[in-house]
Copies of this chain bind each other. A is one copy, B any other.
């Protein structure tokens, strides 16, 4: 299989040819107009390559790469269908819009049903194909119905220095073609949601701190004030990460079976928990840094011993004021509990890194994500309550209802209570039976 034929003389065809030549393959290129294309003029690497007609190229090679656009497949191949039977044909094409019913590769396999169609290389751009040091992944996804053909393409990809990843039957080519079109597809909705919640909290905070009463100066908007919507959005998103799991449990209890599909919205919500979790981590990380930046008696007066310099109107001896002020229990406890919550969230984030998560079995994964995750949520609520409660007692119940600390922990508290309820022995036994299968 060291003899390879490429159809097309475009950008990608030439990048492929160059790479193949450098990896020690024999390459033949088939073009509609072989005489007009002077490849050797472009790149000295392409000198040894035989440039011939499409028909000739198809006849002479057993392994063909179609480096032309999918819309030209029919025109280009229809005269040569018989010739292609039993040969390996690699489809490298990409699409403008996601494949729904039929991928390019499946379309190709309907055109030449007797060839062994393999989808490969489309995830590698022409630039990365040519340039060794260009950054980015070198994984090549491979799909095809013929196992042996897939194996051959795997080996070729490996010999070219790529990292092949066999995805099985040709239907997977849909996934492969869509892969290239994605730009963080799962992240859009969670990011919008975050943005919305963040804005709501911002509005409320501007209202109570700048409009209803002037607690802060506009000067302090960038760090001191921004820190508040940041941590509140963080805790809210953290709660929304763990909420859908509970709703799912309640629905299963209500349905009495796990075999009824969840409503669409809850299904989607369950699917974006990873993204919500990571976004909440980023927000909380920001909150921690912002808090550390401004942590001083100046900003958090109530957390510190107060030192007031008091000079009596008449004093006969010299006065001396050592200027010290340290945190009282409230501040220290809030810091400790907040830090523990953050540390635990770091572990959750760490196991979200693909390579690390892979090394855990599902008991360990469940332990980190579910047990430790809820611990972090509980600690976060405790962190806010330590700060809030002394104030609530002073303010009385009516004012407390509007205080941001109080508001921000309502959703997290709800999540924790729901979880506790679902963990009650009687309910959890019932739920377990439902999830086990035979109702």
**What distance in Å separates the Cβ of A49 from its nearest Cβ neighbour in chain B?**
15
In contact, A128 and B362 (Cβ under 8 angstroms): yes
Establish whether residues A309 and B332, one from each chain, have CB atoms under 8 Å apart when the complex forms. no
Q: How far is the CB of A175 from chain B (nearest CB, A)?
A: 9
Quick one: CB contact mask for A349-361 with B, threshold 8 Å, 1 for yes?
A: 0000111111111
**Residue tally, chain A, CB below 8 Å to B:** 111
Q: Quick check: A364 and B223 within 8 Å, CB to CB? A: no
Q: Which residues of B contact A336 (CB under 8 A)?
A: 222-223, 226
Enumerate A381-438 residues with CB–CB distance to B below 8 Å.
Answer: 435-438
Which of A55-63, A103-111, A113-121, A289-297 touches B? Answer: A289-297
B293 contacts A309, C-beta separation under 8 Å: no
CB-based contact B362/A358 at 8 Å: no
Task: Find A123's partner among B135, B136, B317, B362 (CB 8 Å cutoff).
Answer: B362
Q: Does A72 contact B (CB under 8 A)?
A: no
A206 within 8 A of B: no
Q: What's the least CB distance linking A337 to chain B, in Å? A: 8
Contacts of A366 in B (CB 8 A): 136
B-chain residues with CB within 8 Å of residue A301 when the two chains form the complex: 324
Q: Which residue of B lies closest to A295 (CB)?
A: B293
With contacts A136-B365, A311-B319 known, is A155 near B183, CB below 8 A?
Answer: no
Is the pair A133, B361 in contact by a Cβ cutoff of 8 Å? no
Q: Which residue in B322, B329, B354 is a CB contact (below 8 Å) of A355?
A: B354
What 0/1 readout, one digit per residue, does chain A (125-153) give for beta carbons within 8 Å of chain B?
A: 11110000101110100000001000000
A14 and B437 within 8 A (CB) = yes
Q: Is A69 an interface residue (CB 8 A)?
A: no
Interface residues in A147-174 by Cβ distance below 8 A to B read 147, 155, 158-159, 161, 163, 166-169, 171
CB contact between A357 and one of B125, B133, B137, B171 (< 8 Å): that residue: B137
Complex partner residue of A179 from B137, B180, B298, B361, CB under 8 angstroms: B361
What residue in chain B is nearest A187 (Cβ atoms)? B364
- Smallest Cβ distance from A352 to chain B, in angstroms? 8
Tell me whether B137 and A333 are in contact (CB under 8 A): no
Q: A183 and B311 in contact (CB under 8 A), knowing A220-B327, A223-B332, A329-B219?
A: no
Q: Which residues of B contact A436 (CB under 8 A)?
A: 11
User: Nearest residue in B to A126 (C-beta to C-beta)?
Assistant: B437
Docked CA distance A286–B335 (Å): 12
CB neighbours of A310 from chain B (8 A) = 318-320
> Given A320-B310, A364-B183, A297 and B295 touching (CB < 8 A)?
no
Interface residues of A in 328-384 (CB under 8 A from B): 328-329, 331-333, 335-336, 339, 343, 353-367, 369
Whether a CB of chain B sits under 8 angstroms from the CB of A82 is no
- Of all chain B residues, the one with the shortest Cβ separation from A155 is B147
Q: In the bound complex, how far is the Cα of B11 from the Cα of A326, in angstroms? A: 59
* Chain multiplicity (copies): 3
Q: Which residue of B lies closest to A294 (CB)?
A: B327
B308 lies within 8 A of A123 (CB): no
B311 touches A361 (CB 8 A): no
Q: Which residues does chain B contribute within 8 Å of A126, judged by CB atoms?
A: 437
A189 on the interface (CB 8 Å rule)? no
Residues of chain B within 8 A of A356, CB atoms compared: 353-355
For A179, list chain B residues within 8 Å (CB). Answer: 361
The listed residue (B123, B181, B332) touching A221 by CB distance below 8 A is B332
A33 interface contact, C-beta 8 A: no
Q: Is the CB of B323 within 8 A of A270?
A: no
- A338 → chain B closest CB, angstroms: 10
Whether the Cβ atoms of A317 and B321 lie closer than 8 Å is no
How many angstroms between the C-alpha atoms of A124 and B365 in the bound complex?
12
Beyond contacts A42-B257, A222-B335, A298-B326: 17 other A-B pairs, Cβ-Cβ < 8 A, are A10-B437, A43-B259, A123-B362, A135-B274, A136-B362, A137-B358, A137-B361, A161-B168, A183-B363, A219-B332, A226-B336, A311-B311, A311-B315, A311-B320, A313-B316, A313-B317, A323-B323
Q: Could you jot down 19 A-B contacts, CB within 8 Å?
A: A24-B169, A136-B362, A137-B365, A155-B168, A159-B169, A180-B363, A218-B329, A223-B327, A223-B331, A289-B292, A290-B339, A296-B296, A309-B319, A310-B319, A313-B315, A313-B319, A353-B356, A354-B358, A354-B359
